Amino acid sequence: MAETDSSEATPPADAGPIYKAFDDRGDLQLLVGVAPDQYKFIVCSRTLLRASSVFNTMLNGPWTEKQLVSGDWVVELPDDDPISLRRVLTLTHGRFR
């Protein structure tokens, strides 16, 4: 019988986003997709900046996603596919296990 990853289980509608930390000291939260299939990824912004010109422009440019002076840094990506982005984040953060 195959093991399942509990971080991929769909929670009840009122449970909030599915949580996955790619970096325990990550400074950026990505809210990907929409409820009830929304994911919350904790990532290292510097890793994304190095790996992707798209994230570099998004996080450093004059956009709303730019880091605030105080508070949590949260970027909402409602139109992105959480499963596809999870695969990209797994690669960029070197989480192959």
Domain that holds residue 59: 15-92
Report the number of distinct structural domains present in the chain: 1
In a domain, 4, yes or no: no
Q: Are 58 and 65 in contact (CB under 8 A)?
A: yes
**What are 38-95's pLDDT values in tens digits?**
999 999 999 999 999 999 988 887 766 666 666 789 999 999 999 999 999 999 998 8
CA distance from start to end of the chain: 19
Tokens representing 75? 């970027």
Higher confidence at residue 97 or residue 46?
46
pLDDT computed for residue 67 by the predictor: 65
As a whole number, mean pLDDT of residues 28-37 equals 94
In a domain, 97, yes or no: no
In a domain, 27, yes or no: yes
CATH number reported for the structural domain that contains residue 72 in this entry: 3.30.710.10
In a domain, 85, yes or no: yes
Higher confidence at residue 97 or residue 60?
60
How many whole angstroms separate alpha carbon 65 and alpha carbon 15? 25
